[in-house]
Amino acid sequence: MNNNTHSSDVIVIGGGLVGSSVAYGLLRQGLSVTILDGADDTIRPSRGNFGLVWVQGKGFGMADYARWSFGSARQWPALRDELQAQTGIDVELMQPGGLHICLSEEEMAQRVDKLRWLESEVGDPAYRSTVLSRDEAAEHLPGLGPEVAGATYSAMDGHCNPLKLLRALYSANIAKGARIHNRMQVDAIRKDGGIFHVSAGERAWQAPRIVIAAGHATQQLSAMVGMFVPVRPNKGQVFITERVQPFLTHPTNYVRQTDEGTVQIGDSMEELGFDDMVRVPVNARIAARAVKCFPVLANARVVRTWAALRVMSPDGFPMYQESDSHPGAFAVTCHSGVTLAAQHVFCIAPWVATGLRPAAIEAFPATRFTPETEVKPYGI
Amino acid sequence: MSNPAIPLNDAPSQLRDLVVIGAGPAGMAAALAAQRRGLDVLLLDEQPQVGGQIYRSITQTDAQRERILGADYVYGKSLADQVRASGLTHWAGASVWQIDPDKTVHVLRNDRTTRIETKSLVIATGAMERPFPVPGWTLPGVMTAGAGQILLKNAAVVPQVPVVLAGCGPLLYLLAAQYLRAGVEIRAVLDTSAGTDWRLAIRHASSLLAGWGYVRKGLGLLREIKSAGIPFFKDVGGLRIEGEDAVRQVRFTSAGHSQQIDCELVLLHQGVVPNTQVSWSLRAEHHWDDEQLCWLPVLDSWGQTSLPGIYIAGDGAGIGGALVAEMQGALAGIGVANSLGFGTSEDGAQQRAQIAQHLRIRPFLNQQYRPKDEFRIPADEVVVCRCEEVTAGAIREQVQLGCVGPNQTKSFSRCGMGPCQGRQCGLTVTEIIAKEANLPPQEVGYYRIRPPLKSLSLAQLAAGV
Amino acid sequence: MASKALFKYLPGHQAGAAGTVSVLVNGAVVRMSPASSLAAGLLAAGITAVRVSPVGQGARAPYCMMGVCFECMVDVNGRPNQQACLITPEDGMEVTTMQAAPSVLDAQEAKHV
Q: What is the DSSP string of B351-367?
A: HHHHHHHHHTTHHHHHH
pLDDT of residue B2: 33
What's the total number of domains in chain A?
3
Question: pLDDT, tens digit, for every residue of B241-260?
Answer: 999 999 999 999 998 899 99
Domain boundary, last residue among A253, A285, A312: A312
- Which residue would you say has higher pLDDT here, B32 or C113? B32
Q: Are B143 and C63 in contact (CB under 8 A)?
A: yes
Q: What is the pLDDT of residue B118?
A: 98
Q: Determine, for residues C49 and B140 on separate chains, whether the beta-carbon distance falls below 8 Å.
A: yes
The whole-number pLDDT of residue B204 equals 67
For residues A165-179, average pLDDT: 97
Average pLDDT, chain A: 95
Nearest to B323 by CA among B354, B302, B277, B350: B354
> Is the per-residue pLDDT at C108 higher than 60?
no
**Percentage of residues in chain A having pLDDT higher than 70:** 98
Residues in chain B with CB shorter than 8 Å from the CB of A169 are none
Which of A12, A14, A11 is CA-nearest to residue A42?
A14
Same domain flag for A45 and A174: yes
Q: Which residues pair with B81 in a beta bridge?
A: none
Is C96 a residue whose pLDDT tops 70?
Answer: yes
For residue A210, report the phi and psi dihedrals to the nearest 5 degrees.
Answer: -135, 150
Chains that touch B (3 or more CB pairs under 8 A): A, C
Higher pLDDT, A168 or C18: A168
Is the domain spanning B16-128+273-365 CATH 3.50.50.60? The answer is: yes
Which pLDDT score is estimated for C1? Answer: 42
For the domain made up of B373-444, the CATH class stated in words is mainly alpha
CB B284 within 8 A of CB B305: yes
CATH of the domain at A252: 3.30.9.10
Same CATH fold assignment for domains B16-128+273-365 and B131-270: yes
d(CA A293, CA A188): 49
Please, which residues have CB within 8 angstroms of residue B217's CB and are 6 or more apart in sequence? B170
**Helix, strand, coil shares, percent, chain C, to 5:** 10, 30, 65
Report pLDDT for B145.
Answer: 98
Q: State how far Cα A83 lies from the chain centre.
A: 17
Locate the domains of chain B by residue range: 16-128+273-365, 131-270, 373-444
pLDDT class of C15 with cuts at 50, 70, 90: low
Reported as a pLDDT band with limits 50, 70 and 90, residue A69 is very high
Neighbours of B1 (CB within 10 A): 13
Interchain CB distance below 8 Å, A245 and C105: yes
Interatomic CA distance for residues A340 and A344, integer angstroms? 6
When CB atoms are compared, the residue of B1, B6, B419 closest to A288 is: B6
Judge: A245–C107 Cβ closer than 8 Å, yes or no: no
Answer whether residue A244 shows pLDDT above 90. Answer: yes
Phi, psi of A117, deg, nearest 5: -60, -50
Region of B52 please: left (phi>0), alpha (psi -120 to 50) or beta.
left
Segment B38-60, tens digit of pLDDT: 999 999 999 999 999 999 999 99
> pLDDT at residue A3 above 70?
no
Over residues A12-23, the mean pLDDT reads 98
CATH topology of domain B131-270: FAD/NAD(P)-binding domain (3.50.50)
For chain B, residues with pLDDT lower than 70 are: 1-13, 195-212, 343, 465
Contact: A242, B455; criterion CB under 8 Å = yes
pLDDT tens digits, A192-235: 989 999 999 999 999 999 999 999 999 999 999 999 999 999 99
Alpha helices in B185-298 (DSSP H): 198-202, 205-210, 212-227, 277-281
Contact A242 C110 (CB under 8 A): no
CA distances from C65 to C60, C62, C98 (A): 13, 6, 18
Distance from the Cα of B212 to chain C's closest Cα (Å) equals 30
CA dist A322 and A8 (Å) reads 19
**Contact across the interface for C48 and B246, Cβ inside 8 Å:** yes
Residues A204 and A239 placed together within one structural domain of the fold: no
When pLDDT is averaged across residues A100-127 and rounded to a whole number, the result is: 97
Listed residues A262, A288, A312: the one ending a domain: A312
pLDDT at position B461? 96
How does pLDDT run across A334-372, given as a tens digit for each residue?
999 999 999 999 999 999 999 999 999 999 999 999 999
CATH number assigned to the domain covering C21-96:
3.10.20.30
- Quote the pLDDT of residue B197: 57
A248: exposed, middle or buried (C-beta count within 10 Å: 0-12, 13-18, 19+)?
Answer: buried
* C6 contact residues in B (CB cutoff 8 A): 141, 159-161, 264-265
- C100 contacts in A (CB within 8 Å)? 243
Res. A59: pLDDT tops 90: yes
Alpha carbons B305 and B286: distance in angstroms, whole number: 9
Say what the pLDDT of residue A380 is.
60
Task: From chain A, pick out residues whose CB is under 8 angstroms from the CB of C79.
Answer: 299
Provide mean pLDDT across the span C48-73.
96
Task: Report the distance separating Cα B272 and Cα B293, nearest Å.
Answer: 10
What number is the ipTM of this complex? 0.93
Between B406, B418, B458, which is nearest A298 by CB?
A: B458
Amino acid B447: pLDDT: 97
Q: Return the SS3 of A52.
A: strand
Whether residues C59 and B245 touch (CB distance < 8 A) is answered with yes
Which range among A35-44, B113-122, C7-16 has the greatest average pLDDT?
B113-122
Burial class of residue B70, CB neighbours in 10 A (0-12, 13-18, 19+) = middle
Q: Which of residues 86-105 of C touch A (CB under 8 A)?
A: 100-105
